[in-house]
Amino acid sequence: MSPRPRRRAARRHLARLIAWAMPLFPERYSRGALGAVLGYAPRLWGWTRGGDRQTAVRLAFESAFPREDAELFFSEMIPRRARALATSMTYMARYRAGQDSRFVVPLRLPVADGTPCVITYLHYAIDPVVQLALLRENASRRFRWVVYPPPPNRPLRWEDERELYLAGGPIPTAVADTFLYVTKPSWLLEAKRHLGDGGDVLLALDSPIDARRGAGAQLRVGEASMPVSPAIDRLADDGARLLFVWPEPGPDQTWKLRCEELPNTAAVADAASRWIRDHRDYWAAWSGVTARIPATSMRVGGE
């Protein structure tokens, strides 16, 4: 067996073991042990020196910060991302088991006043903790969660943590029922209908997918920029409230979820750009700065 299939098999085994064992032990110790393993062996979660993923992130970082040392960035970022991934995997294992996490402070969204919300976020190192925590803490609200699966019939261009997420166990039905796949040509119409019925939509700002329509704002990443999802303007133009949700790292690798209502997409992009500036080690969409995926390669007739 070649090294890559062996690593994939090891990841799947690790994810299944975590999903089974993590709820059985105190969260502090299980998360700490997992973070140590992931930090010691970053190849387990796709950070192979010279591999496609690290090369893509390096190109993006050098584009955004041409006067900084990419090696120094990696040396500081990867251990922090390992600890964040440990938080994510521990949280998901406990979520599946119906247990709370003491390391994630949840967020109650603004009181629903009959006005639907477009809830935007970046791709964070602790994903999908932010989305899962919103679903759990706001169970009385009706969500559709826009998700970006890998293009059909084509492998990912670089490895990421998704293999660990998916291998850890089945996605709870209550979560899977919220998914709205952009591979469906009608996804934007479905999202608008859901908002029209008083529901809320969860949508990432920083997908690497290039849409046919121009973006209403840009994320600033150092000296580089990337477009935010143009779907945000389309969804918010019927009077929906526009929210930006982010995790704030705290002592002992705790994470507090925060939210701000903003007047337009440009203001959302400004707030998200500030988060990237202050927490760039925990931003998980670096490759989207320089590596864009044409929307037409994923589906026909979508956003």
In the chain, where the domains are located: 3-297
Q: Which pLDDT belongs to residue 158?
A: 37
**Which of 22-31, 178-187, 217-226, 229-238 is modeled with the greatest confidence?**
217-226
Q: Which pLDDT belongs to residue 10?
A: 66
Of 46 and 195, the one with more pLDDT: 195
Say if residue 200's pLDDT is above 90. Answer: yes
Number of Cβ within 10 Å of residue 277's Cβ equals 12
Q: Which pLDDT belongs to residue 18?
A: 67
- Between CA 105 and CA 180 the distance in angstroms is 26
Average pLDDT over residues 189-217: 83
Say if residue 46's pLDDT is above 50. Answer: yes
DSSP 108: P
Q: Which pLDDT belongs to residue 9?
A: 67
Q: Which pLDDT belongs to residue 104?
A: 94
**Which of 108-122, 137-151, 157-171, 275-289 is modeled with the greatest confidence?**
275-289
Burial of 286 (0-12, 13-18, 19+ CB in 10 A): buried
SS3 content of the chain, % helix, strand, coil (to 5): 45, 15, 35
How would residue 161 be classed by pLDDT, with cut points 50, 70 and 90?
A: low
**Which of 74-78, 156-160, 211-215 is modeled with the greatest confidence?**
74-78
Average pLDDT over residues 204-216: 70
How would residue 87 be classed by pLDDT, with cut points 50, 70 and 90?
A: very high
- Between CA 80 and CA 76 the distance in angstroms is 7
- Between CA 227 and CA 247 the distance in angstroms is 21
How would residue 5 be classed by pLDDT, with cut points 50, 70 and 90?
A: low
Non-local CB neighbours of 232 within 8 Å, separated by 6+ positions: 118, 120, 203, 205, 216, 242, 265, 268
**Whole-number CA gyration radius for the chain:** 19
Strands (E), 163-272: 179-181, 200-204, 209-210, 218-221, 224-227, 241-249, 255-262
pTM of the predicted model over 0.85: yes
- Between CA 219 and CA 226 the distance in angstroms is 5
How would residue 77 be classed by pLDDT, with cut points 50, 70 and 90?
A: very high
Q: Map residue 74 onto helix, strand or coil.
A: helix
At 139, the amino acid letter reads A
Q: Which pLDDT belongs to residue 124?
A: 95
How would residue 293 be classed by pLDDT, with cut points 50, 70 and 90?
A: low
Of 175 and 6, the one with more pLDDT: 175
Of 213 and 63, the one with more pLDDT: 63
136-150, 226-240, 288-302: lowest mean pLDDT where?
Answer: 288-302
